[in-house]
Homo-oligomer: A and B are copies of this chain.
Amino acid sequence: MGSIGTVTPQAMHFAEPLRLQSGAQLADYTLVYETYGALNADKSNAVLVCHALNASHHVAGTYADKPKSVGWWDNMVGPGKPLDTNRFFVIGVNNPGSCFGSTGPMHANPATGKPYGAAFPLLTVEDWVSAQARLADRLGIAQFAAVMGGSLGGMQALSWSINFPERLRHCIVIASTPKLSAQNIAFNDVARQAILTDPDYHGGDFYEHGVVPKNGLKVARMVGHITYLSNDDMAEKFGRRLRNAAETDDYAFDFGVDFEIESYLRYQGDKFSEYFDANTYLLITKALDYFDPARAHGGDLTKALASTRAQFLIASFTTDWRFSPERSREIVEALVSNRRKVTYAEIDAPHGHDAFLLEDPRYLGVVRAYYDRIAQEFAGEAA
């Protein structure tokens, strides 16, 4: 089991406009993507990995010029890893609207020549999946062995199974939900308000002012980050430990940093505000809020999933309070009602929502076993 080594992102331009769910369209756009492993002769071993809020096409490996630039799911994807690149051809693609290379709000709007800013059209999970499908077309992949994602990435995998049922044999949805709850939306809206009311946001046109709404992004990230961690995990990692516990056992009695948890969260917020785009953050949180495939079916998830043909692996984590196991079980129940083949793993892990990104032998073992099964299928086909 080794790392995938050095990887190089690629870019593909699409001149045909992408019609969006909102009625708007994206005139033309570029998608940045990476691939790992080799596509087999009958093109049956391709796996698409969909990214969540804070990630990109850079799923695994490192960039030659940046040794620390390890992909966000490097523990999942690689030679001998659960999604084994010795057997599978894996694609990571950056969604439009992102700030990691694909066309986004910081790029020039062809209509004005200036950066899109807040004029960049709002995209939905379904729009992203449509864009991903076009990339698959260009790469000559008619059907994926699997489409896989965690959190927002899981929503994309689920959307693939609903909207392109013949184009995937397996759908792997981890730490996700069929729709956001009122509480989920509420946290997203706090984050949005923090950004929108930052004077440096300039109605989304901060690029031309040479500033970035850092404070808003920082607060947005801080509140988001709290929801990614479990209460217990935070208690264990930080508890009430004072930041300078070695030097003092007393409170500072000012509005600086007293507790380690404050220091950690502010640091995470600051770091995030230095590399993430505010318009992208707004746009992605709206895509999260809008995802609700049952909505077109009067709220009936079973009906929404009736079009699916794939087999499913659904996984959740006991301490995830952002998208709790209960939300995954809703998906499982609706699939079972449709008599789909579903494997469900509810993993007892302490790390909350973030668990889907972390090392956990039971979790990675489940995914590995599932991919072993998929590999046997196309090994059988090939034989």
Q: B193 to A266, Cβ gap below 8 A? A: yes
Is A231 engaged at the interface, CB distance under 8 Å to the other chain? Answer: yes
Total interface residues on A, CB under 8 Å, equals 53
How many subunits of this chain does the assembly comprise?
A: 2
Question: In the complex, which residues of chain B have a beta carbon less than 8 angstroms from the beta carbon of A182?
Answer: 234-235, 237-240, 259, 261
**In the assembly, what is the distance between CA of A181 and CA of B259, in Å?**
11
Question: In the complex, which residues of chain B have a beta carbon less than 8 angstroms from the beta carbon of A258?
Answer: 286, 289-290
A200-231 vs B, CB cutoff 8 Å, 1 = contact: the mask equals: 00000000000000010011001100100101
Is A366 engaged at the interface, CB distance under 8 Å to the other chain? Answer: no
Question: In the complex, which residues of chain B have a beta carbon less than 8 angstroms from the beta carbon of A254?
Answer: 122
Q: B282 to A190, Cβ gap below 8 A? A: no
A172-193 vs B, CB cutoff 8 Å, 1 = contact: the mask equals: 0000000111110111011011
Q: A265 to B189, Cβ gap below 8 A? A: yes
Is A142 engaged at the interface, CB distance under 8 Å to the other chain? Answer: no
Of B180, B193, B222, the residue contacting A240 (CB under 8 A) is B180
Of B183, B194, B199, B255, the residue contacting A219 (CB under 8 A) is B194
Interface residues of A in 266-281 (CB under 8 A from B): 266, 269
**In the assembly, what is the distance between CA of A121 and CA of B269, in Å?**
28
Q: B219 to A193, Cβ gap below 8 A? A: yes
Interface-central residue, A22, A118, A240, by most chain B CB under 10 Å:
A240
Known: A182-B240, A199-B199, A240-B179. A190 touches B265 (CB 8 A): yes
Chain B, residue nearest A290 (CB): B251
**In the assembly, what is the distance between CA of A253 and CA of B118, in Å?**
11
Of B185, B240, B251, the residue contacting A259 (CB under 8 A) is B185
**In the assembly, what is the distance between CA of A266 and CA of B22, in Å?**
24
Of B23, B218, B238, B286, the residue contacting A255 (CB under 8 A) is B286
- Distance in angstroms from A355 CB to nearest chain B CB is 16
A78-110 vs B, CB cutoff 8 Å, 1 = contact: the mask equals: 000000000000000000000000000000000
Question: In the complex, which residues of chain B have a beta carbon less than 8 angstroms from the beta carbon of A180?
Answer: 240
A-B contact pairs, 25 of them (CB 8 A): A181-B231, A181-B235, A182-B237, A182-B239, A182-B259, A182-B261, A183-B226, A183-B235, A185-B261, A186-B222, A186-B226, A186-B261, A187-B223, A189-B259, A190-B226, A193-B215, A193-B218, A193-B219, A193-B222, A193-B266, A197-B215, A198-B215, A199-B199, A219-B219, A255-B286
Given contacts A182-B235, A189-B262, 20 further A-B contacts (CB under 8 A): A22-B251, A121-B253, A122-B253, A122-B254, A181-B231, A182-B237, A183-B226, A183-B235, A185-B240, A186-B222, A186-B262, A189-B261, A189-B266, A190-B222, A190-B223, A193-B222, A197-B215, A199-B199, A253-B286, A258-B289
